[in-house]
Structure 1
Amino acid sequence: MTKKDNINRNIIIVLMIVVAAVFRLLAFKYQQLSNFNPVGAIALFGGAYFTDKWKGYLAVLLTLFTTDIILNYLYTSKFVIGYDGIIGVYLSFAIMVFLGTMLKKVNALNVLLASVGAVLMHWLVTDLPLFYTTLNLYPHTLAGYKTSLIAAIPFEYNMVYGTLVFSAIMFGGFELAKSKYAFLQTKKQLAL
């Protein structure tokens, strides 16, 4: 794999992430799609396919940040950079990218397990009370955390479905493209 091939491969990965990220913005127009979005799949995909793993973290967190700003503007007509709980949200997506880096072999079972694991991490981390300083929907106790987790179940169902659907599209599409275009394969895959 030449340097040019690696650059082209990264461009394709970034383009796939950007195209998928547009679907996150649909939740503004279609409220029933709340949390049915590609962000979990984007995190796993970036972690799995960038050969320089830091690029996976950067691309995913930058995509999340950019779409957060756009969504906040659509909802409030103001440019809002942060929100209460942002640390937990970004930490959960960094963990998802890490899960993507652990995918040594991309196949349906591994992507399914990683997708479910990613949503589980999102659910457990984003509802931790320590990440909320002004929004006090639940007491900052173990019982409050439990109540928060239970209340989040409908949103996490949508996230599971979104992550599974978009993972199938993104991973399946990239694997298909890799079988047709050698420049999308890593040095290790080309050596086989």
Structure 2
Amino acid sequence: MTAKNNSTRNIVLILMIVLAAAFRLLAFKYKDLSNFNPVGAIALFGGAYFISKWKGYLTVLLTLFITDVMINYLYTSKFSLWYSGAEITYLSFALMVLTGSLLLKKVNMLNVVLASFTAVLIHWLLTDLPWLYGTLYPHTLAGYGTSLLKAIPFEYNMIYGNLVFGLILFGGFELAKTKYAFLRTKKQLAL
């Protein structure tokens, strides 16, 4: 793969991620879509396909940051660059990128489904820590359990989002790779 082809491949990956992330903004207008969004699938996708893994982390986390700023503005009419618990949220998405790079070395339906469930588990266990949100839940194991139980409907939406957007992103890129050789890695071109 030439440097030019790698740059073109990266541009395609970034455009796919940005287009998918735009769907995240719909949750502002349609509240039932809360957590039914592409961010988990985007994280897995970035981890799986960027040859330089740091580009996957940078693209995913920057996309998350930009859409967070936009969503915060839609809700508050103020620009807010950070929010309470953001560091844990970003850590969970960085771990999802890592999950994509580890579990999706071979992209197929089973691996994408397993990675999608793993991503939700990471999000659920990290972002629902009770001490992140003040006094909403007691800062005990029982409070953590309550927080986890209350989060289940949101995590269902996230798994549906991961599966739907995973199908679109991974399926779309795999299909594109069959038509455009410049999207394939050196290893794939040798096959």
Contact 2:130 2:136 in 1 (8 A): no
3-state SS, counterpart of residue 44 of structure 1: helix
CA contact (8 A) 1:88 1:128 kept: no
Which runs of no fewer than 5 residues in structure 2 stay unpaired? none
User: How many Å separate the matches in 2 of 1:161 and 1:68?
Assistant: 20
1:57-99 Cα distance to aligned partner (Å, 9 max, x none): 0000000000000000000000011111111111110010000
- % of aligned pairs identical? 73
The CA RMSD measured in Å over matched residues stands at 0.8
Aligned residues: 190
Instruction: State the SS of the aligned residue for 2:84.
Output: coil
TM-score, normalised by the number of residues in structure 1: 0.97
Residue in 2 that maps onto 1:81: 81
Partner of 2:60: 60
> 1:159 — aligned with what?
158
Aligned to 1:90: 90
User: For structure 1, which segment, 160-169 or 120-129, has the greater mean C-alpha deviation from structure 2 after superposition?
Assistant: 120-129
Runs of 4+ in 1 over 6 A off after TM superposition: none
In the alignment, the residues of structure 1 paired with residue 94 and residue 11 of structure 2 have an alpha-carbon distance, to the nearest angstrom, of: 21
The unaligned stretches of length 5 or more in structure 1 are none
Letter in 2 for 1:93: F
Alignment of 1:36-47 (within 5 A): 36-47=36-47
TM-score (norm 2): 0.98
* 1:111 aligns to 2:118 (yes or no): no
Partner residue in 1 for 2:174 = 175
CA offset at residue 129 of structure 1?
3.1
Report the alpha carbon displacement of residue 8 of structure 1 after superposing the two structures with TM: 0.2
Corresponding residue of 2:125: 124
